[in-house]
Amino acid sequence: MPVDLPIAPRPAAHPAVHCGNGRFPGRLELMPPVPSRSVEVAGREVVISNPERVYFPALGATKYDLVRYYLAVGDALMITAGGRPALLERFPEGAGGKSFFQKRVPPGVPPWLETTTVSTPNGTRSNALVVADVAHVLWAVNLGCLGLHLWPYRSADPQHADELRIDLDPQPGTGFDDTRRAARHVRALLEELGITGYPKTTGNRGIHVYVRLQPRWDSTAVRSAAVALARELERRHPDLVTAQWWKEERGQRVFVDFNQNAPHKTVFGAWFARPRLTGQVSTPFEWDELDTIDPEPMTIATVPERLGTRGDPWATIGSHTQSLEPLLELAAADRAAGLPDAPWPPEYPKAPDEPPRVAPSRARKPD
């Protein structure tokens, strides 16, 4: 079935869209002009207010174009996001406008909306959205969410993180070519350990590599594995990769941000649109595309056609759950060699074997 591209001329009237399979827009029924449009997907009706509001000015794309994008990629999106709690980041005026985070689902939601209780590092609990189906994504879009930040576990099993998220963050003085090189080394190390990683663009200058895990470990263990991986990459490629938490120690290298795996941390999900004026998407890709992938053309206007032509590069991620043990063995070897834990973010309680939580340049010098 050909992909119905999301960016299209504005219709003279506002139709109600009925979508049979939740992936591609279906038949249109013309109605008198109204300030909202109604979408039926996954057996639910979602009302989209102000559908013609421009959300991505440089692309000329509206709020309803974003709806149509999520309908087009919905099947692939649900493979990665389905069942996960989501942190809302709302952009009422679209990309480029003011935004705010909202962990709690507001009152007055439809009765079908699925939520779950999540916690922050300090123990604060809140009622968060669950990405139960594409209708839940469109509900968030109607609130002004361009994309969603996802927890690393399913709401049905919050005690076990089922994703290791390797965040390659290029530091000032580096570029996307450096990120590509770092990603190549990530792949080599993972394969050496018998682990398969799935890469995606972040929608900007970085690359994420995901590993779908057997649901056996909590987020603290997954973070330990991420710290070990970052340190091993730095040992092997010290001129390119850094595992240093403090910015002043990173230099012009690609930082492997292990703390993205800390408990309660969310990461921007695959297939979601970033808050950029040109509508870039955090796009999964195949490893054989690494040398040529360019995040800039990957937008809500182009990704549906790419998905329809090439297929979903992460289609098998959910059926390929893997063991964390090889990376935990690296972590144990580091501890046995006398390496302490790596620094945690400031909002977390101090870990027992964590080094002083102060930048080296500000640390008290010995007398």
Percent of the chain residues past pLDDT 70, beyond the cut: 90
Q: What is the architecture of the domain spanning 163-267+320-339? A: Alpha-Beta Complex (3.90)
* Pairwise CA distance, residues 66 & 172, whole Å: 31
* Predicted pLDDT at 334: 98
Other Cβ atoms less than 10 A from the Cβ of 175: the count is 10
Note the helical H segments in the chain.
63-81, 134-142, 176-192, 219-236, 303-310, 325-336
Reported as a single tens digit per residue, the pLDDT across 89-144 is 999 999 999 999 998 999 999 999 999 999 888 788 999 999 999 999 999 999 99
Domain(s) labelled CATH 3.90.920.10 in the chain stretch across 16-151, 163-267+320-339
User: Poorest-confidence range of 117-131, 210-224, 326-340, 353-367?
Assistant: 353-367
- Which pair of tokens denotes residue 95? 């990309």
* Predicted pLDDT at 361: 87
* Pairwise CA distance, residues 140 & 81, whole Å: 14
Q: Which helix (H) or strand (E) holds 100?
A: strand 100-102
- Give domain 16-151's CATH superfamily: DNA primase, PRIM domain (3.90.920.10)
Reported as a single tens digit per residue, the pLDDT across 204-236 is 999 999 999 999 999 999 999 999 999 999 999
Please say whether the beta carbons of 315 and 307 come within 8 A.
Answer: no
| Alpha-carbon distances, residue 318 vs 194, 238, 313 (angstroms) | 17, 33, 12
Percent of the chain residues past pLDDT 90, beyond the cut: 83
* Pairwise CA distance, residues 136 & 129, whole Å: 8
Decide if pLDDT at 244 tops 80.
yes
Reported as a single tens digit per residue, the pLDDT across 142-173 is 999 999 999 999 999 999 999 999 999 999 99
